[in-house]
Amino acid sequence: MTPQERRDWITGRLDPIAHYNPSLADPVRSDFDLNPGLTFDNPHALRPAAVLVGLIEREDGLSVLLTRRSDTMRSHTGQIAFPGGRCDPGETPWQTALREAQEEVGLDPKFVTLSGLLHGYQTVTGFHVTPVVGFIDPAAEFVASPEEVADVFETPFDFLMNPANHERQHRVTPSGERRNFYAMPWNDRFIWGATAGMLRSLYERLHDESTEQTPG
């Protein structure tokens, strides 16, 4: 399909931003999807956050913007993540996603065309994250904020949307609990946890059997 056809196909399967209503309980994905025995004590106490799932149409195909968190961060040190963070009071998820992307990787919001939203994602660290999907103009330049981001890179969209690359791995916590999670290792990048979970959510949204088949 052409780049525009793919863009329209992706956008048509997302929740329209115009329909966003924070007072409605939307279906959610979470770090506990692969751990049905674990639940949140109080899901209503989760803090709102948002990330930008940035898609870039390059000459060799569509790619996804990702970052590696700084080694000096107090939490999630060195992990792969989307640009994003906690919502400030009064912010919409897309305002948060654009602000955080500008702060973390120097992305000017004028280079982003917002496409829609995925279902909220609840993290074991206590956040309700809204993934905001947007197309980034290939002319955009990125400058990592050294306090927050060690590296900015792109990963092929087709690789991330191939279920054969959605590994199910696990770790054992210090308390002895087994925690299962999605992982999508790509070259020397270990994409896992909430980031991989949100990418899996995007895959499932795009390839929902109730929607039309992917155009050829």
- Average of pLDDT values for 134-143? 97
Per-residue model confidence as pLDDT tens digits over 87-100: 999 999 999 999 99
Q: Does residue 45 register a pLDDT over 70?
A: yes
For position 60, what pLDDT does the model report? 94
Using CB atoms within 10 Å of the CB of residue 16, give its burial: 0 to 12 exposed, 13 to 18 middle, 19+ buried.
exposed
Per-residue model confidence as pLDDT tens digits over 176-197: 888 999 999 999 999 999 999 9
**Residue 133 falls within a domain, yes or no?**
yes
Smallest CA-to-CA distance from 33 within 199, 209, 210 is with 199
Kindly report the pTM of this predicted structure: 0.91
CATH number assigned to the domain comprising residue 175: 3.90.79.10
**Residue 24 falls within a domain, yes or no?**
no
**Residue 9 falls within a domain, yes or no?**
yes
**Residue 115 falls within a domain, yes or no?**
yes
**Residue 62 falls within a domain, yes or no?**
yes
- Average of pLDDT values for 47-67? 97
Number of independent structural domains in the chain: 1
Tell me how far CA of residue 36 lies from CA of 29, 33, 168, in angstroms: 12, 6, 14
**Residue 22 falls within a domain, yes or no?**
no
pLDDT over 90 for what percent of the chain?
73
**Residue 215 falls within a domain, yes or no?**
no
What is the span of the domain harbouring residue 137? Answer: 3-15+30-206
**Residue 213 falls within a domain, yes or no?**
no
Contact criterion met (CB below 8 Å) for 171 and 89: no
* Residue 134 tokens, joined: 């947007």
Q: Does residue 209 register a pLDDT over 50?
A: no
For position 215, what pLDDT does the model report? 40
